[in-house]
Amino acid sequence: MQTRKLGKGNLEVSALGLGCMGMSFSYGPPADKKEMIALIRKAVELGVTFFDTAEVYGPYTNEALLGEALEPVRDRVAIATKFGFNLNPDGSPGWQGLNSRPERIKAVADASLKRLRTDVIDLFYQHRVDPEVPIEDVAGAVKELIAAGKVKHFGLSEAGVQTIRRAHAVQPVAALQSEYSLWWRKPEAEVIPTLEELGIGLVPYSPLGKGFLTGKIDENTSFDKTDFRTTLPRFTPEARKANQAMVDLLGAMAKQKNATPAQMALAWLLKQKPWIVPIPGTTKLHRLEENVGAAALELTTEDLRQIEEAAAKIALQGDRYPEHIEKMTGR
Q: Any idea which residues carry the catalytic annotation?
A: 57
Q: Which uninterrupted H or E stretch holds 271?
A: helix 261-272
Question: Which positions ≥6 away from 296 have C-beta within 8 Å?
Answer: none
Q: How big is the CA angle at 314 (ends 278 and 194), to the nearest 5 degrees?
A: 40
Q: Dihedral of CA 56/59/64/70: which sign?
A: negative
Q: Is 121 helix (H, G, I), strand (E, B) or coil?
A: strand
Q: Write the burial class of residue 263 (CB in 10 Å: 0-12 exposed, 13-18 middle, 19+ buried).
A: buried
Nearest to 98 by CA among 90, 87, 111: 87
Q: Report the largest interatomic distance among the alpha carbons of the chain, rounded to a whole angstrom.
A: 54
- The answer to whether residues 6 and 123 touch, using CB atoms and an 8 Å cutoff, is yes
Question: Residue 178 phi/psi, 5° resolution?
Answer: -150, 155
Q: Which residues pair with 125 in a beta bridge?
A: 82, 155
Q: Judging by beta carbons within 10 Å of its beta carbon (0-12, 13-18, 19+), is residue 93 exposed, middle or buried? A: middle
